[in-house]
Protein backbone atom coordinates (compact mmCIF):
# COMPACT_ATOMS: atom_id res chain seq x y z
CA UNK A 1 0.00 0.00 0.00
CA UNK A 2 1.40 3.40 -0.96
CA UNK A 3 1.75 5.89 1.86
CA UNK A 4 -1.31 8.13 2.28
CA UNK A 5 -1.04 11.90 2.42
CA UNK A 6 -1.54 11.62 6.20
CA UNK A 7 1.27 9.10 6.52
CA UNK A 8 3.48 11.50 4.52
CA UNK A 9 2.50 14.33 6.87
CA UNK A 10 3.37 12.19 9.88
CA UNK A 11 6.71 11.26 8.27
CA UNK A 12 7.39 14.98 7.61
CA UNK A 13 7.48 14.45 3.84
CA UNK A 14 4.62 16.98 3.55
CA UNK A 15 4.56 20.03 5.82
CA UNK A 16 1.76 20.34 8.36
CA UNK A 17 1.57 21.18 12.04
CA UNK A 18 0.87 18.18 14.23
CA UNK A 19 -1.29 19.64 17.00
CA UNK A 20 -1.65 16.47 19.08
CA UNK A 21 0.18 13.16 19.26
CA UNK A 22 0.13 10.10 21.48
CA UNK A 23 1.38 6.55 20.98
CA UNK A 24 -1.44 5.64 18.62
CA UNK A 25 -2.79 8.72 16.87
CA UNK A 26 -1.93 12.24 15.77
CA UNK A 27 -4.04 15.24 14.80
CA UNK A 28 -3.78 18.10 12.33
CA UNK A 29 -5.96 21.01 11.32
CA UNK A 30 -7.95 20.28 8.18
CA UNK A 31 -6.54 22.20 5.22
CA UNK A 32 -10.08 23.04 4.02
CA UNK A 33 -12.06 23.65 7.22
CA UNK A 34 -15.85 23.53 7.18
CA UNK A 35 -16.21 24.74 10.78
CA UNK A 36 -14.23 27.12 13.01
CA UNK A 37 -12.63 24.04 14.59
CA UNK A 38 -11.98 21.28 12.05
CA UNK A 39 -9.35 18.82 13.19
CA UNK A 40 -8.49 15.41 11.79
CA UNK A 41 -7.62 12.67 14.29
CA UNK A 42 -5.62 10.04 12.46
CA UNK A 43 -4.23 6.67 13.55
CA UNK A 44 -0.51 6.21 12.96
CA UNK A 45 -1.37 2.86 11.40
CA UNK A 46 -2.64 3.34 7.86
CA UNK A 47 -6.03 1.57 7.69
CA UNK A 48 -7.79 2.47 4.42
CA UNK A 49 -11.46 2.64 5.46
CA UNK A 50 -13.81 1.88 8.33
CA UNK A 51 -14.70 -1.28 6.37
CA UNK A 52 -11.21 -2.51 7.28
CA UNK A 53 -11.85 -2.33 11.03
CA UNK A 54 -11.95 -5.82 12.51
CA UNK A 55 -11.36 -7.69 15.76
CA UNK A 56 -7.59 -7.25 15.38
CA UNK A 57 -7.59 -3.46 15.07
CA UNK A 58 -10.86 -2.29 16.63
CA UNK A 59 -9.05 -0.83 19.67
CA UNK A 60 -7.77 2.02 17.50
CA UNK A 61 -11.29 3.45 17.27
CA UNK A 62 -11.34 3.90 21.05
CA UNK A 63 -7.92 5.57 20.89
CA UNK A 64 -9.18 7.97 18.22
CA UNK A 65 -12.29 8.88 20.20
CA UNK A 66 -10.34 9.36 23.42
CA UNK A 67 -7.87 11.63 21.61
CA UNK A 68 -10.74 13.58 20.04
CA UNK A 69 -12.32 14.07 23.46
CA UNK A 70 -9.03 15.33 24.82
CA UNK A 71 -8.48 17.69 21.87
CA UNK A 72 -12.04 19.04 22.16
CA UNK A 73 -11.32 19.96 25.75
CA UNK A 74 -7.97 21.52 24.78
CA UNK A 75 -9.70 23.58 22.10
CA UNK A 76 -12.31 24.77 24.60
CA UNK A 77 -15.27 23.28 22.72
CA UNK A 78 -16.09 20.27 24.89
CA UNK A 79 -18.87 21.93 26.86
CA UNK A 80 -20.63 23.64 23.95
CA UNK A 81 -20.27 20.46 21.92
CA UNK A 82 -18.77 19.03 18.80
CA UNK A 83 -19.28 16.41 16.13
CA UNK A 84 -17.09 13.40 15.30
CA UNK A 85 -17.40 11.99 11.77
CA UNK A 86 -15.81 9.12 9.88
CA UNK A 87 -16.52 9.20 6.15
CA UNK A 88 -16.41 5.82 4.41
CA UNK A 89 -15.94 5.30 0.67
CA UNK A 90 -17.63 7.20 -2.14
CA UNK A 91 -21.13 7.77 -0.77
CA UNK A 92 -19.67 8.72 2.60
CA UNK A 93 -17.52 11.36 0.92
CA UNK A 94 -14.17 9.79 1.79
CA UNK A 95 -11.28 11.23 -0.21
CA UNK A 96 -8.24 10.13 1.80
CA UNK A 97 -8.01 6.38 2.25
CA UNK A 98 -6.39 6.34 5.65
CA UNK A 99 -9.10 6.42 8.28
CA UNK A 100 -9.50 9.67 10.14
CA UNK A 101 -12.06 11.23 12.41
CA UNK A 102 -13.24 14.77 11.68
CA UNK A 103 -13.65 16.82 14.87
CA UNK A 104 -16.00 19.67 14.00
CA UNK A 105 -16.93 22.45 16.41
CA UNK A 106 -17.07 26.16 17.10
CA UNK A 107 -20.51 26.83 15.70
CA UNK A 108 -23.99 25.33 15.84
CA UNK A 109 -23.66 22.48 13.37
CA UNK A 110 -26.53 21.70 11.03
CA UNK A 111 -27.45 18.07 10.47
CA UNK A 112 -27.65 17.95 6.71
CA UNK A 113 -27.09 14.48 5.26
38, 70, 98, 100: the catalytic one is 100
Residue 18 DSSP SS3:
strand
User: Could you give the CA distance from residue 10 to residue 28 in angstroms, rounded to a whole number?
Assistant: 10
How buried is residue 15: exposed, middle or buried, by Cβ count under 10 Å (0-12/13-18/19+)? Answer: exposed
Number of residues that bind ligand AMP (CB under 6 A): 13
Smaller CB separation from ligand AMP, 5 or 78: 5
Residue 70: active-site member: no
Q: Return the residues of window 47-86 that contact ligand AMP according to CB under 6 A.
A: none
How far is Cα 54 from Cα 15, in angstroms, rounded to an integer?
31
User: Of the candidates 46, 87, 106, 109, which one interacts with ligand AMP according to CB under 6 A?
Assistant: 87
Is residue 3 close enough to count as binding ligand AMP by CB under 6 A? no
- By CB under 6 A, residue 5 contacts ligand AMP: yes
What residues are labeled active site? Answer: 100
Amino acid sequence: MADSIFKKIYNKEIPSEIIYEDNFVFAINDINPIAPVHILVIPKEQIPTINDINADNEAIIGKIVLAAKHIAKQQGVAENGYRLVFNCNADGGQTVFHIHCHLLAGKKLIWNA
